[in-house]
Amino acid sequence: MTSKAEKYPPQSAARVWIDRIADYESFRELDPFLISSDRLGFYRYEEKLREAARSSRENEAVVTGYASVGGTPCVLVVMEPRFMAGTMGSVVGEKITRAFESAVRRRLPVVSLSSSGGARMQEGVLSLMQMAKTAAAVYRHGRKGLLYLSVITDPTLGGVTASFVSLGDVLIGLEGARYGFTGKRIIEETTREALPEDFQTVEYAFRHGQVDCVTAEKDLRDILIHLLRLHRKGKRRCRI
């Protein structure tokens, strides 16, 4: 029998990632009290939101905030897969957009760690609108010459893949992570062709130029530190 402690872990997956990536006690959360509402009257959506909050220990499927990584200040955007499979609804899109806007104001790089099943069906077109909204926020951030590192964890699918996740200056995949848009079975049924065994993995995406590197989880922080420091030094040279 599953104990209550096992069912409701003391720390969310997003907080575990933040602890692994950010410098000790450097994280300061943004918009922690933004929560979703049932704007479309979708069947049992409010009940599912309450259960997701209990099981994940988070108010939404993304945690954002200021942090430093290896001494470099940045903004973190970390998705929470235990909150409705990390799906992106209106509040997730708003929090991500605000995170990029805060990074623009403070001229900070952004590091995102994605883990999502895609757009949240309970919010219909309101969820799909977040794809364009977050993509526009990434564009405005990039126009200022600021760095965006996108880390793909397992799984990263659907609308998040087709929006802010794929727009990073550097895309880093964790070994074995699923990464794609439409499901493999649907593609095979539509095209009537068998797909490779590793289709929709970051390794497959890397071989076809869609991901810049694939790394083990233990090496991720070192890679992020290296890239953030390189960008910071490059910006200093540009100002001289």
> What is d(CA 170, CA 213) in angstroms, rounded to the nearest whole number?
8
- Helix (H), strand (E) at residue 91: helix 90-106
CB 164 within 8 A of CB 135: yes
Closest CA to 142 of 150, 130, 131: 150
> What is d(CA 82, CA 141) in angstroms, rounded to the nearest whole number?
28
Mean pLDDT score of the chain, rounded to an integer? Answer: 91
Question: What is the number of domains present in the chain?
Answer: 1
Q: What local confidence, expressed as pLDDT, does residue 197 receive?
A: 80
Give the angle 189-194-199 at the CA atoms, nearest 5°: 100
Domain that holds residue 83: 4-239
> What is d(CA 35, CA 56) in angstroms, rounded to the nearest whole number?
14
Give the angle 12-128-32 at the CA atoms, nearest 5°: 35
Give me the DSSP letters along 15-75.
HHHHHHHSPTT--EEE-TT-----TT--TTHHHHHHHHHHHHSSSSSEEEEEEEETTEEEE
For 66-83, write each residue's pLDDT tens digit: 999 999 999 999 999 999
Closest CA to 197 of 176, 214, 175: 176
For 13-25, write each residue's pLDDT tens digit: 999 999 999 999 9
Give the whole-number percent of the chain exceeding pLDDT 70.
93
For 162-179, write each residue's pLDDT tens digit: 999 999 999 999 999 999
What is the sign of the dihedral through the CA atoms of 75, 114, 120 and 208?
Answer: positive
pLDDT above 70: residue 237: no
Q: Please name the residue that has the structure tokens 């929006």.
A: 163
Q: Read off the CATH number of the domain in which 125 is found.
A: 3.90.226.10
> What is d(CA 173, CA 234) in angstroms, rounded to the nearest whole number?
24
For residue 118, the one-letter residue type is: G
Q: What local confidence, expressed as pLDDT, does residue 240 receive?
A: 32
Closest CA to 129 of 101, 83, 93, 81: 93
Q: What local confidence, expressed as pLDDT, does residue 238 receive?
A: 43
Q: What local confidence, expressed as pLDDT, does residue 235 receive?
A: 67
Task: Kindly report the pTM of this predicted structure.
Answer: 0.90
For 84-136, write each residue's pLDDT tens digit: 999 999 999 999 999 999 999 999 999 999 999 999 999 999 999 999 999 99
User: What 3-state DSSP class applies to 114?
Assistant: strand
Q: Which residue has the higher pLDDT, 232 or 44?
A: 44
